[in-house]
Copies of this chain bind each other. A is one copy, B any other.
Amino acid sequence: MQFNTTLDSIRVYEAGKPIELVVREYGIPPKSVIKLASNENPHGSSKKAIKAIKKASKEAYRYPDDSMFVLKNGLCARFGIMPSNLIIGAGSDQVLEFCVRAKCKEGSKVLMAKTTFAMYEVYAKQVGALVFRTPSDQHNLDEFKTIYKKEGADIIFLCLPNNPLGECLDRKDVYDFLREVNPETLVVIDGAYQEYAAYKDKKKKIDPTDLIERFPNAIYLGTFSKAYGLGGMRVGYGIAQEEIIGALLKMRPPFNVSTLSLVGAIESLSDKKHVDFSIRDCFDEMALYEAFAKKHKIEFIPSYTNFVTLLLDGLASSTEVSQWLLERGVIVRNLASYGMNAIRITIGGESQNRRFFKLFAKYLKKTAA
């Protein structure tokens, strides 16, 4: 059967067996396996959220409130916006997808950093859009400008801070860049890790309300998957001017966020204590990663997120390291698929991080010998 030709260039993402099962193949008890690969909050979900989910579980048979009335009210109060400036997705991923599908078609152009969130390209390819990337792995606005001047773009993706590398542009530089962007270009500011960046350095902080007031062609994306500890529940949001939100809402399927996900997000939003603790602890522990890297002369990218990327050129092969760690029950993200000899490690809880340090030191000692 013939399908749209735009599908020809898309490779199906094959997740394979759950990583836990793979690890068990190495005879490691499941409880000894630690996942530092998906940037989940090692402190879990807010206890208030878990309690609310448990209480609401008997409502799993009911369709969710499709107006998302309570969650929208909470986010509007948080950001000082109107419901018409807000769209809620199954993760900010889904809002990304709405952006691409509303704005792009075959032959449209999207512009992004060389090494950034993989789904920008996947969604672009699904509609047959052309993908332009900067030469540098990390975000470099001069390179963005050069390509944009030459090619234009229907969408520009800025990942602030950037997944999977961890760097973050200054707000001032972003704003300067946005002033040169045509109002017809949709600029997606992916703030999945913004809570971390804003805590570490105020210069990185993007305020969604300020952003969309200054730049009506920008959309800010936020998520409950990282600092808010709800990665499994799939809730994210987009904040933009009504004109943009109105177009994206046309792509939103009804009931796109589950009944229990709404409940979890509403409670998480109000549990500031859990979020603040998670972020503070993340950077306390990250300092230990940095000290570890310096001690072992491993280059790393200073990170404004809840993960750190170690660059292994001249030291080890990221594929070998990842496999060696996996066989010992520690799962990290190998960035070989991004064309980099690097590993991305989620900042875990205290004992998880200690275990990583001990194990990685052992690996380095072994290879140096």
Contact = CB atoms under 8 A, between A and B. Distances in A.
Contacts of A38: 62-63
Interface in A247-261: 247, 249-256, 258-261
B63 A40 contact: yes
Interface stretch (A48-56, A204-212, A309-317, A329-337): A48-56
B40 A102 contact: no
A21 interface: yes
Contacts of A244: 1
**Interface SS, A side:** loop
A171 B110 CA distance: 47
A339 interface: no
Contact of A50 (B16, B41, B58, B225): B58
A18 B67 contact: yes
B90 A61 contact: no
Nearest to A42: B61
Given A3-B103, A50-B57, A63 B119 contact: no
A3 B260 contact: no
Contact of A260 (B13, B65, B103, B233): B233
Count class of interface residues, chain A: 35 or more
Contacts of A6: 105
Nearest to A228: B61
A267 to B, nearest CB: 11
A76 to B, nearest CB: 14
A255 B1 contact: no
Interface in A24-73: 35, 38, 40-41, 44-45, 49-50, 53-54, 57-67, 69
A368 interface: no
A222 interface: no
Given A18-B67, A67-B17, A231-B63, A1 B253 contact: no
A106 B106 CA distance: 11
Contact of A217 (B1, B15, B60): B1
A250 B105 contact: no
Contacts of A105: 4, 6, 106
Most B-side CB within 10 Å, residue of A60, A61, A64, A260: A61
A338 to B, nearest CB: 16
A348 interface: no
12 contacts: A4-B103, A7-B247, A11-B250, A15-B254, A18-B67, A41-B61, A44-B60, A45-B57, A50-B57, A61-B232, A94-B253, A232-B258
Given A3-B103, A123-B253, A258-B261, 11 more contacts: A1-B247, A6-B105, A13-B254, A15-B67, A16-B67, A18-B69, A44-B58, A45-B57, A90-B256, A94-B253, A233-B259
Counting from the closest, the 9 A-B pairs by CB-CB distance are A232-B259, A15-B67, A15-B66, A61-B229, A10-B250, A3-B247, A18-B65, A12-B249, A44-B61
